[in-house]
Homo-oligomer: A and B are copies of this chain.
Amino acid sequence: MNFLQSLQNPHVKAWKKLSTKKGRDQSGLFLVEGFHLVEEALKSRAEVQEIIVREGTELPAHFYIDTIDITTVTDEIAQAIAETEHTQGVFAVCKQELQDFPSLGAQRILLIDSVQDPGNIGTMIRTADAAGMDAVILGKGSADPYNAKVLRSAQGSHFHLPIIKMDLQPVIDDVKKREIAVYGTSLEGGRSYTSIEPGAPFALIMGNEGSGVKQEWLEQTEQNLFIPLFGKSESLNVAVASGVLLYHLRGQLQ
């Protein structure tokens, strides 16, 4: 057990860098904060490199940390690396998962095309987990899934299913080769989602909050779907729309 007191310590500097996308990309690591997320990281197959605890903060006895480095830090350091205003004072440094998508053989996949808002991305990951998806793929132009706000909104679902940053094209190619239906989403054109019989494997593409799914993907789908708007609103929030579509498409099979 180490104890760090200086904000100038290189470890502290390295942790602070994980608050930026550049720092996360260069190290291949990310930082989760709070008892719930740290517990989810420890319970999962995620590789937890170390745990950081503010002095005076107790780790629950059921946390499985026998083989993991623990560093105790001052309150000043905890505040410096925290992304929340009132930090719980517990953090885990985790390794980003690098998966080779086509090897997964995933049967139900959510593809995210250029969704910008971290809260939306996190909620979509949480929703994909709840709906039993096998993987979430984030294409170019989407917010970084290891951003602190994405991690908080996803409430630990990062540790429950593969979250992969990669170009959508090879995923679409792989899925089509395996004769799995790819559905796009579009406010105009296409068919109501309820016209699709639930239960078969599928890949669903959700798009940017303002501009929707890019034309280049819409042209490659088996069918583009819309959600009917019965009132006067012009659209649904993208995470809400994901929930409606994923729950319909998967059906009630386990």
Report Cα–Cα, A120/B250, bound state, in Å: 25
Q: Which residues of the partner chain B approach A217 to less than 8 Å between Cβ atoms?
A: none
Q: Are B127 and A237 in contact (CB under 8 A)?
A: yes
Q: Which residues of the partner chain B approach A2 to less than 8 Å between Cβ atoms?
A: none
Q: Are A252 and B237 in contact (CB under 8 A)?
A: no
Q: Which residues of the partner chain B approach A240 to less than 8 Å between Cβ atoms?
A: 123, 126-127, 239-240, 242-243
Report Cα–Cα, A233/B132, bound state, in Å: 9
Q: Which residues of the partner chain B approach A252 to less than 8 Å between Cβ atoms?
A: 192, 194, 228
From the candidates B157, B227, B242, name the one contacting A231 in the complex (CB within 8 A).
B157
> Which chain A residues numbered 223 to 240 have a C-beta less than 8 Å away from chain B?
227-237, 239-240
Residue of B nearest to A161 (CB): B231
Residue of B nearest to A126 (CB): B233
> Which chain A residues numbered 132 to 190 have a C-beta less than 8 Å away from chain B?
132-133, 153, 155-157, 160-161
Given contacts A123-B237, A252-B194, contact A129 B243 (CB under 8 A): no
Residue of B nearest to A108 (CB): B230
Q: Are B129 and A232 in contact (CB under 8 A)?
A: yes
Residue of B nearest to A198 (CB): B194
Min CB gap A117→B, angstroms: 10
- Confirm or deny: A200 has a beta carbon within 8 angstroms of a beta carbon on chain B: no
Closest 10 pairs (CB-CB, A-B) = A132-B230, A240-B243, A160-B232, A129-B233, A129-B231, A130-B233, A132-B231, A244-B247, A123-B237, A243-B244
Residue of B nearest to A254 (CB): B230
Query: How many subunits of this chain does the assembly comprise?
Result: 2
From the candidates B132, B133, B231, name the one contacting A133 in the complex (CB within 8 A).
B231
Q: Are A156 and B233 in contact (CB under 8 A)?
A: yes
Residue of B nearest to A43 (CB): B232
Report Cα–Cα, A230/B119, bound state, in Å: 22
Report Cα–Cα, A86/B24, bound state, in Å: 29
Q: Which residues of the partner chain B approach A235 to less than 8 Å between Cβ atoms?
A: 130, 155
- Confirm or deny: A111 has a beta carbon within 8 angstroms of a beta carbon on chain B: no
22 of the cross-chain contacts (CB-CB < 8 Å) are A123-B237, A126-B240, A127-B236, A128-B231, A129-B231, A129-B233, A130-B229, A131-B230, A131-B231, A132-B230, A153-B237, A157-B233, A160-B232, A161-B232, A194-B252, A230-B254, A239-B239, A239-B240, A240-B243, A243-B243, A244-B247, A247-B248
